[in-house]
Amino acid sequence: MTVEKYIDLLEKSFVIFRLRPFFTNKRKEVTKMKKIYFYDLGIRNTLLRAFTPLSLRTDTGALFENFFILEKKKQLSYTQSLHELRFWRTQNQQEIDLIEVAQKPARAYEVKWKNQKYTPPLEWSKTYSDTLPILISKNNFWEYL
């Protein structure tokens, strides 16, 4: 209860924001847990005491994911879009980092620092066959903002 109060305060102070899960099948997909991201990546790095160059960091992927989702959130705000940002995860820990929900089909993004071969989770492909996730990397992220 105390942690929830602190998270709520940080969210109301615009330090963090939460993404709600995207789901259509309550039995197989996570429906209650939210993911937390920072509005200010400098505050994130300060809390983690992580100031080393990207090439030496162990959290580069998480940092890049936070960056892309924050920039996507800003873009939708600037354009006054009614799209919602969500994430998708199953009980088996299969995950898609970002789902942009507005029309059908939704847009799905998998965010990876390195440009690599990516195969969508099998459960996603079965359930949402009309939406293949787009791989976002440091090489192409500007195309999707």
- Evaluate whether 136 touches 112 at the Cβ level (below 8 Å): yes
Provide the 10 A C-beta neighbour count for residue 93.
Answer: 8
pLDDT at residue 104, rounded to an integer: 75
pLDDT tens track, the chain, 145 positions: 899 999 999 999 999 999 999 987 776 766 678 999 999 999 999 999 999 999 999 999 999 999 999 999 999 999 998 899 999 998 888 999 999 998 778 899 999 998 889 999 999 999 888 888 999 999 999 999 9
pLDDT at residue 29, rounded to an integer: 66
How far apart are the C-alpha atoms of 111 and 96, rounded to whole Å? 8
Rounded to 10°, the helix 41-48/60-78 angle is 160
Task: Tell which phi-psi region holds residue 136, choosing left (phi > 0), alpha (psi between -120 and 50) or beta.
Answer: beta
pLDDT at residue 7, rounded to an integer: 94
Which pTM does this prediction carry?
Answer: 0.90
pLDDT at residue 135, rounded to an integer: 96
pLDDT at residue 24, rounded to an integer: 78
pLDDT at residue 17, rounded to an integer: 97
How far apart are the C-alpha atoms of 114 and 110, rounded to whole Å? 11
**In the chain, domain spans:** 2-144
